[in-house]
Each structure stands twice: as C-alpha cells, then as structure tokens.
Chains A and B, each alone.
Chain A
Amino acid sequence: DSGVTQTPKHLITATGQRVTLRCSPRSGDLSVYWYQQSLDQGLQFLIQYYNGEERAKGNILERFSAQQFPDLHSELNLSSLELGDSALYFCASSPRTDTSGNTIYFGEGSWLTVV
C-alpha cells in the first residue's frame, strides 16, 4: 500500500459527460501529480500541484482541469469526454517538489472507460 488513495477505481461513462477523479496523497506529502496512461501513448504527465498551487503542467487537455484543496487532496476533472480519454489515471504524491531525491508514490489508479 503506497498510502496514496484514489477514487473511484473504475468508472464507465458516456461520451460528452464529465467526471471527477479524487486523490488523497500520502500523509505529509505536499506535492500531487496526475498522470494518464493509455495503450497508445504510454504514461503521460498531466499536471502537478504543490501545497495548493499549480506547479507544473504537462500534456493536459483544455477539457481537463485539476485543483488541490487546503487539506491537500486533489481532484482531476475531465469534461466533454471522448472515446480517446479512456485510460488509467494515476495520482501520485511526494513530500517536496524541488529535489530529485524524493520518491514519487503512486495510487492504484482510476480506470476510466468512455463508451
């Protein structure tokens, strides 16, 4: 158990809909990362938050947004869903952001299927 909690574990939704994925980081971790893993594109970094502030942006679509709340949990919002958004979405956390030494621990992922 990595200590990173993601909900829901599985989600099936229709095209055009909106979903919210939730993440609770490891106790004490200030940094939260979101990743998307699809069969054709591998593991893609989406966005990072550190202590409530956006820290870095990766290949995140404009239809997607995220935030980190004062209690450090984070939500990833996916809207106007398309078939191609079907993927495994990971949340990960680490204590800090400005170091190469902290390990980034991953949650179990949220499987999203868009039909």
Chain B
Amino acid sequence: AQKITQTQPGMFVQEKEAVTLDCTYDTSDQSYGLFWYKQPSSGEMIFLIYQGSYDEQNATEGRYSLNFQKARKSANLVISASQLGDSAMYFCAMRGMDSNYQLIWGAGTKLIIKP
C-alpha cells in the first residue's frame, strides 16, 4: 500500500531564508505522481508542484522546486527566499495505480515564516 510520511509537524524559518520540507513515500508502483499542496489559514488547498516518477529532472515552479530522489523515495519541497505569505500548512501527496489513482496524503507540515 502507498504511504506518505512528513516527519516535520512544524517549522519556523526566518524570512528570506530557503526552507526544505521533507516528504518520503512508499509505493510498489513503477509509475506514480508526487504533488505538493499549500493550505493557508483561510483554508483553500493550493496546488504547488508536480513530479512524475519518470521525470529525470526535478520539477520547478517559480520559487518552488522539488528535490526528487527516487532511490531514496523522497520528494522534498524547497522554497527559496521565503516570504511571510508562505506561512501555511504544506501537504505532500502521491497517486498511482496502487491507490486506484486517489491521492494519498501526508500529515502535513505547518510552516511559519518569522519576520
């Protein structure tokens, strides 16, 4: 069965610093997708970035990049030059045939950016 583990319940980071949010996963699928979502205190769930298991390059979207290490089964989110607006819950998720293509979610990491 697929599983997502986010080991950091909470993080404090100084504004303008880079931050890495950890995500490890477990699956027997060969083909799967990894996703990161942001949930600010207002509640909406915002898609940030996607990495396919066969993608050879790490995904990047603006200040977000995904550090994909397939052999280690990790998909860490890196936020460069953090901003106060980055304070939110961050969820790692994956989907594949093993989960009937439903999203499997991690418990989330609460990120607080300090001014």
Chain A interface residues (CB < 8 Å from chain B): 2, 33, 42-43, 45, 48, 56, 58, 88, 90, 92, 97-109, 111
Contact = CB atoms under 8 A, between A and B. Distances in A.
A108 B44 contact: yes
Identify the interface centre among B35, B37, B97, B103: most chain A CB within 10 Å of its CB. B103
Given A100-B29, A100-B95, A100-B97, A90 B45 contact: yes
B105 A43 contact: yes
B46 A2 contact: yes
Name the interface size band of chain B: 20 to 34
B103 A104 contact: yes
A59 to B, nearest CB: 11
Interface of B: 29, 31-33, 35, 37, 43-47, 50, 52-53, 91, 94-97, 100-103, 105, 107-108
A100 B101 contact: yes
Contacts of A103: 35, 47, 50
Contacts of B105: 42-43
A92 B33 CA distance: 17
B92 to A, nearest CB: 12
10 contacts: A2-B47, A98-B101, A99-B101, A100-B52, A105-B47, A106-B37, A106-B44, A106-B45, A107-B44, A109-B45
